[in-house]
Structure 1
Amino acid sequence: MQERSKGCKKSIVMGLLSEGSPLNWEETKRYADHVRKHGIIQFLNIYHKVKDRQKDVLKWGDEVEYMLLSFDHEHQKVQVLLHGEEILHELQNRGEKTNPNHPTLWRPEYGSYMIEGTPGQPYGGTMADFNTVEANMKFRRQEVSFLLKANETICTITAFPRLGCHQFTQPVYEPKPVESGASKSLFFPDEAINKHPRFSTLTRNIRHRRGEKIAINVPIYKDRCVSSPFVEKFVNGDGETARATKPDHIYMDAMGFGMGNCCLQVTFQACSISEARYLYDQLATICPIVMALSAASPFYRGYVSDIDCRWGVISASVDDRTREERGLEPRKHSKYRISKSRYDSIDSYLSKCGEKYNDLELTVDDEIYKQLREGGIDHLLAQHIAHLFIRDPLTLYAEKINLDDANESDHFENIQSTNWQTMRFKPPPPNSEIGWRVEFRPMEVQLTDFENSAYVVFVVLLTRVILSYKLDFLIPLSKVDENLIVAQKRDAVRQGMFYFRKDIYKAGNPVVDGCACTQNGIDLDSEEYALMSIDTIINGKEGVFPGLIPIINSYLENMEVDVDTRCSILNYLKLIRKRASGELMTAACWLRKFVSDHPDYKQDSVVTEKINYDLMMNCDQIAKGLCDCPKLIGVPISKPKYSDGKHNTV
């Protein structure tokens, strides 16, 4: 959720987007303790100003990341279009810079072929708002399409199938791994990185801090004609590449292979800090379930992989831990052994209800923890912040070193916004009307505005149900981590089994006023959760679990909802329900089937230029409502019409 803010740049998914002169890694490293020290002071100042803030109204908003594509119809190929900055500039000039109430906001993203769109104002607490989400998403798509040429398009695909393949960009740029650059990738040219200095600085500083290039290895799908073992040889490879590659895996070596993918996110404003902490914990358990439900990225660097989600790829793409921090070498120079990348699942619950389920070993900065406790922060929140702050800042601007800690939060956000976890707990910005928020981050973006709206509405309704019925989904956090691993596997929706709490009504009152997560003083044990299919979790199974959608339907029956809005909501929930049951395919499953059924596919797990062209053309047609896809979307109640702003329908 983005709110307008007078006289300042907005933060985006990648973090705080500031203007200035970025420092290199050695310079940034010298100021790391300074950033941490003042970041904590800034957090304490914010906390004590707004800790007792109550009764903020529900506001929420979505963030959709888009890719720009260029089609060469003569040669039947498609490339990512590196015009994101120019398109963004024009969108902002036509939109928010002209009209402060413009219905959309546009922000840069990591790839120069990417942009991010959000509603111009956050949605509110009325049921009718659910009926405006899809229209706003359609308007965003049309806004961009109006600025594109006939052979160009905007699409919502999670991972471009041939990202990193030969000449995958338009204009064409070749990677320069031996020259001084940001990524030194064998496959991903620096020109594909957004020109804003933050992004190339992040790329370079992650590599320098890590002490070697990024190494991503994704298991290849072992189709009938894939060699065993599958081993690639690279013309420009060196010793580092040889050490980093694994047999039977697709190798990638740059931040762009992760941050150059697209996602769908939702942010909620809670009425108080206690409610925000409660929602943060409850939604953390839902993250793996929705990740599997939204699975949409089976292809990497022109190959069919054996995974369906991007999460592990993006986690590895920004993993700045040294070999010592990763436990690969004895610790001599590093302060900590760190168990996860800074892009990963959460490591601790924040509410008192969740405290006993914090069964992961948590690495914290002891001095910062002590500073927070002495500053009046409770144990759970203090350890959360002290855990985030074991990380170094990755970007720092010369103009942003010395700040007014009473009125600015750049140093806090520097660390906070580069801990990219499944959930994010977001304090209000200084001197702002914005309240305590939580961000839900695990979803893959879908092909159509209808699908993206369905996932957003489902998650927002789930938060209303959690709060209204005082539901309790908490299980040991280690089980949530196990679920996250399962969620990324091929066809996890139909094949995977996930730990989930059996009795979700035992909580009594939510932790807004304390903790009531035991019944008659009896602690929960392993018998209180069980392995369930996603079909059971979403749709319910008699005698096992009531199902999230039946609970949402019960909630809706008690709400006053106009007929049109109710129809839209039920249509969205129908999609989620049928995806969960396997009646409809996930995007990942549909994409796999398209490739496997293509006449040019040779059962070798290769997505050729021609296959990719046909696939992206088909995706574009589906997104514009020009062809039906009942196996993916079902049969919509009314066929959506698409306009590019130039013609009535396209």
Structure 2
Amino acid sequence: MTRKELAKGSPLSWQETKQKASHVRKHGLKQFINIYNKTKDTRSPALKWGDEIEYMIIALDQSAKTAHVSLRSNEILESLQREEIENPETARFLWRPEYGAYMVEGTPGKPYSGVLKDLLTVEPCMIQRRKEIQKYLKSNEIAVTLTSYPRLACPFFSEPPLPQESSSSKSTFFPDMAINHMYPRYRAITFNTRERRGDDYHIRIPVMKDQLTRNSITEVFEFEEEEVEETLTESIPNFVCYDSVDGMGYCCLQVTFQAFNMDEARTLYDQLAPICPILLALTAASPVHRGFLTGTDCRWNIISQCVDCRTKEERGLEPLSRDRFIIPKSRYDSISAYISNEGSRYVKLLILMYNDVPVVLNDHYLLELLEAGVEEPIARHIAHLFVRDPLVLFSEKVDQEDEKEIDHFDNIQSTNWQTVRLKLPLPDTDVGWRVEFRPCEVQITDFENAAFVCFIALLTRIILSYKLNFLIPISKVDENMKRSQEKDAIKNCKFYFNSNPFDSDSDEVTEMTINEIINGKDGYFSGLIPLVESFLNATEIEAETHQRLHDYLRLISGRASGELQTAASWIRSFVRSHPSYKFDSQVTEEITYDLITAINQLEQGTRKEPLLYGY
């Protein structure tokens, strides 16, 4: 599947973008209607799919015992993209920039197919991608797949060190130079998000209370020999703070599937949405933020707050006067409604309604979509996305041919960062309707990342093959998203789940542990992994393929049961067992260096962690 390059050009100021917001929405809607009418009956006979992995570049200093993010991603990216530029049809990998000046994103050059044997190519592809990055690194640099760098936005967290100056984000902690400066989209998002919001960010992440953690945490920052004290307590002690779009500098793992047609894409969108919190908890990998152990295991809600551009009126803090809507969620959040016919209907004579949360809509656009022949569930989905303003607009992209382009639609779509995303066919290509699965935290090793990618791919196969129904009310999905990010959620939380997925009219929504959802509960629910294994046993596949897939499923089964640790649990245990840790919740430079070194050893296979991998 072709991946679009990020737009380049001259971003307009926020005031200019705001003035043209109606223009972007109006033409974005026309572009959607054009694509919809052209492709609503189009079929894509071959399953194609692919993964996206975000990498951090870390510079190690063995003598100083420091591990800092290396701000060389653009230099490295230039080398990585050379193959694609010279031979776009045969490039082994596709490389794209990311928000941080220390990040790159890599995908397969060609999509995987629907043949089960192709699952065996996922991990080797990931291994080769990492090796490809390493070719262009300095001798003291490594590429790691780590969701959150432990001391991101701490003083001197980068190499080279940066002055604490920030004009775009107005952040106390995250300098502008840590944002990718070669692609103006990222700084424009940073600046416009804050300008649109109209007031300061106050993002608070609870510190994990350890034996000697103080009740009031005061950090001392030293910038150019000037001491500045900032108390993080406000009214509630023991919170770490962010004050801008810093969280966009985290890494994740995503998977995109091309569906047979639009209806199949809508089904996958809906059925994968309730799975998102489960996979978020299973892939939890970020317990450390700004140098502190925290009470959360995941990045999701942090990023959600970091890119929340809603005004006070839109957040319901002031009466509506200048703005049009009260919008319940950030742009980065779980979905607000199902879009298939199954997800949009009432079940068993109004006993259960899946779309049970009010959804804010642009009624004018909804009417226009319906009059153009767009089915109501999709029309409501688009009308919901289009209550947002565009965040970035390039002067070169203001005027477009709506019959040939979809950039105005993508402008709105691409800044609605939801747990799953319905993606349109690309004009003049063979790329069809797709669904992007977005919640997973990136894992430490290629083995783990391949395991989760293959598991998600197999889930899509059993959903479609067995016509499974995992739908639960959206309000329960939202609650699951909150629970999935709690410390040790796998051990401590239960999640709402449809325990009878073989009944299309099932309303058997109950609370289950992750272990019961993944591995099954006798006489109650067979479990996702047993369902996948049943599918594999009924399919003719080679012994080698079956064995490797079994290895992947065993990892996920062990994580779900608690026999194996999540990455978040392992990182927390590593910090707390470090010789220099003072049980005060603080993750120092030395601890960070040893942690990053251990992570690199795990990836290289020179370090064994039985509690993490079972060997």
Unaligned ranges ≥5, structure 1 = 5-9, 12-16, 508-517, 519-523, 636-650
CA distance, structure 2, for counterparts of residue 208 and residue 239 of structure 1: 26
1:483 matched to 2:463: no
Number of the residue aligned with 1:569: 549
C-alpha contact 2:217 2:231 (8 A) present in aligned 1: no
CA distance, structure 1, for counterparts of residue 492 and residue 49 of structure 2: 33
Residues 220, 332 of structure 1: alpha-carbon distance in 2 compared, 3 angstrom cutoff: same
Deviation at 1:243, TM superposition (A): 10
1:337 matched to 2:331: no
Deviation at 1:57, TM superposition (A): 1.6
Deviation at 1:213, TM superposition (A): 3.3
C-alpha contact 1:388 1:419 (8 A) present in aligned 2: yes
235-244 vs 622-631, greater mean Cα deviation: 235-244
C-alpha contact 2:153 2:173 (8 A) present in aligned 1: yes
Number of the residue aligned with 2:240: 250
Deviation at 1:630, TM superposition (A): 1.6
Given candidates 564, 587, 595, the residue that maps to 2:567 is 587
- Cα deviation, 1:363-383, whole Å, max 9, x if unaligned, reads 001111111111111211111
1:219 matched to 2:206: yes
C-alpha contact 2:520 2:526 (8 A) present in aligned 1: yes
Residues 243, 218 of structure 1: alpha-carbon distance in 2 compared, 3 angstrom cutoff: closer
Residues 232, 245 of structure 1: alpha-carbon distance in 2 compared, 3 angstrom cutoff: farther
Deviation at 1:147, TM superposition (A): 1.2
Number of the residue aligned with 1:45: 34
Unaligned ranges ≥5, structure 2 = 345-352
Number of the residue aligned with 1:521: none
User: Counterparts of 1:181-192 in structure 2 under 5 Å?
Assistant: 181-192=167-178
1:416 matched to 2:413: yes
- Cα deviation, 1:498-530, whole Å, max 9, x if unaligned, reads 0001111012xxxxxxxxxx3xxxxx54xx111
Alignment RMSD, CA only?
1.8
Number of the residue aligned with 2:349: none
Number of the residue aligned with 2:215: 228
- Cα deviation, 1:105-134, whole Å, max 9, x if unaligned, reads 100000010000000000011111100000
Number of the residue aligned with 1:364: 361
1:626 matched to 2:606: yes
Number of the residue aligned with 1:494: 491
Given candidates 438, 445, 448, the residue that maps to 2:445 is 448
CA distance, structure 1, for counterparts of residue 526 and residue 543 of structure 2: 26
CA distance, structure 2, for counterparts of residue 230 and residue 34 of structure 1: 48
CA distance, structure 1, for counterparts of residue 205 and residue 272 of structure 2: 27
Please give the secondary structure, in 2, of the residue aligned with 1:367.
helix
Number of the residue aligned with 2:347: none
Please give the secondary structure, in 2, of the residue aligned with 1:373.
helix
Number of the residue aligned with 1:510: none
242-251 vs 87-96, greater mean Cα deviation: 242-251
Deviation at 1:154, TM superposition (A): 0.2
CA distance, structure 2, for counterparts of residue 568 and residue 96 of structure 1: 34
Amino acid at match of 1:443: C
- Cα deviation, 1:28-53, whole Å, max 9, x if unaligned, reads 00000000000000000000000111
Number of the residue aligned with 1:646: none
C-alpha contact 1:231 1:247 (8 A) present in aligned 2: no
Amino acid at match of 2:176: D
CA distance, structure 2, for counterparts of residue 110 and residue 503 of structure 1: 41
Number of the residue aligned with 1:14: none
Please give the secondary structure, in 2, of the residue aligned with 1:297.
coil
Deviation at 1:245, TM superposition (A): 8.2
Residues 530, 150 of structure 1: alpha-carbon distance in 2 compared, 3 angstrom cutoff: same
Given candidates 377, 382, 385, the residue that maps to 2:382 is 385
- Cα deviation, 1:517-573, whole Å, max 9, x if unaligned, reads x3xxxxx54xx1110000000000101210000010000011111122111111101
1:617 matched to 2:597: yes
Deviation at 1:333, TM superposition (A): 1.5
Deviation at 1:239, TM superposition (A): 13
Given candidates 85, 101, 108, the residue that maps to 1:119 is 108
- Cα deviation, 1:380-427, whole Å, max 9, x if unaligned, reads 111100000000000001111110000000000000010000000111
Residues 163, 563 of structure 1: alpha-carbon distance in 2 compared, 3 angstrom cutoff: same
Number of the residue aligned with 1:503: 500
Deviation at 1:631, TM superposition (A): 1.2
Deviation at 1:98, TM superposition (A): 3.7
Residues 328, 232 of structure 1: alpha-carbon distance in 2 compared, 3 angstrom cutoff: farther
User: Counterparts of 1:21-170 in structure 2 under 5 Å?
Assistant: 21-98=10-87, 100-170=89-159
CA distance, structure 1, for counterparts of residue 427 and residue 176 of structure 2: 35
Residues 598, 283 of structure 1: alpha-carbon distance in 2 compared, 3 angstrom cutoff: same
Given candidates 299, 308, 315, the residue that maps to 2:297 is 308
User: Counterparts of 1:632-647 in structure 2 under 5 Å?
Assistant: 632-635=612-615
CA distance, structure 1, for counterparts of residue 35 and residue 132 of structure 2: 37
Number of the residue aligned with 1:3: 2
CA distance, structure 1, for counterparts of residue 288 and residue 229 of structure 2: 26
User: Counterparts of 1:277-316 in structure 2 under 5 Å?
Assistant: 277-316=266-305
Deviation at 1:241, TM superposition (A): 9.4
Residues 169, 239 of structure 1: alpha-carbon distance in 2 compared, 3 angstrom cutoff: closer
CA distance, structure 1, for counterparts of residue 250 and residue 394 of structure 2: 26
Residues 372, 545 of structure 1: alpha-carbon distance in 2 compared, 3 angstrom cutoff: same
Q: Percent identity?
A: 51
Deviation at 1:627, TM superposition (A): 1.4
CA distance, structure 2, for counterparts of residue 97 and residue 395 of structure 1: 30
1:429 matched to 2:445: no
C-alpha contact 1:215 1:244 (8 A) present in aligned 2: no
Number of the residue aligned with 2:540: 560
C-alpha contact 2:17 2:393 (8 A) present in aligned 1: yes
Given candidates 156, 181, 189, the residue that maps to 1:202 is 189
Deviation at 1:148, TM superposition (A): 1.1
Residues 240, 375 of structure 1: alpha-carbon distance in 2 compared, 3 angstrom cutoff: farther
- Cα deviation, 1:148-174, whole Å, max 9, x if unaligned, reads 122100000000000011111101102
Amino acid at match of 1:204: F
CA distance, structure 2, for counterparts of residue 391 and residue 241 of structure 1: 34
CA distance, structure 1, for counterparts of residue 74 and residue 201 of structure 2: 25
CA distance, structure 1, for counterparts of residue 569 and residue 524 of structure 2: 27
Amino acid at match of 1:3: T
Number of the residue aligned with 2:401: 404
Amino acid at match of 2:607: C
CA distance, structure 1, for counterparts of residue 179 and residue 86 of structure 2: 25
1:538 matched to 2:537: no
C-alpha contact 1:66 1:157 (8 A) present in aligned 2: yes
Deviation at 1:331, TM superposition (A): 2.2
C-alpha contact 1:231 1:248 (8 A) present in aligned 2: no
Deviation at 1:94, TM superposition (A): 3.6
C-alpha contact 1:215 1:317 (8 A) present in aligned 2: no
CA distance, structure 2, for counterparts of residue 142 and residue 624 of structure 1: 11
Amino acid at match of 2:415: T
Deviation at 1:135, TM superposition (A): 0.2
TM-score, length-scaled by structure 1: 0.90
Q: How many residues align?
A: 603
Amino acid at match of 1:503: N
Residues 241, 198 of structure 1: alpha-carbon distance in 2 compared, 3 angstrom cutoff: farther
Amino acid at match of 1:252: Y
C-alpha contact 2:335 2:420 (8 A) present in aligned 1: yes
Deviation at 1:225, TM superposition (A): 1.3
Number of the residue aligned with 2:582: 602
- Cα deviation, 1:230-267, whole Å, max 9, x if unaligned, reads 455778999999898853211011212x1100000000
CA distance, structure 1, for counterparts of residue 444 and residue 425 of structure 2: 33
579-588 vs 235-244, greater mean Cα deviation: 235-244
TM-score, length-scaled by structure 2: 0.95
Amino acid at match of 1:568: R
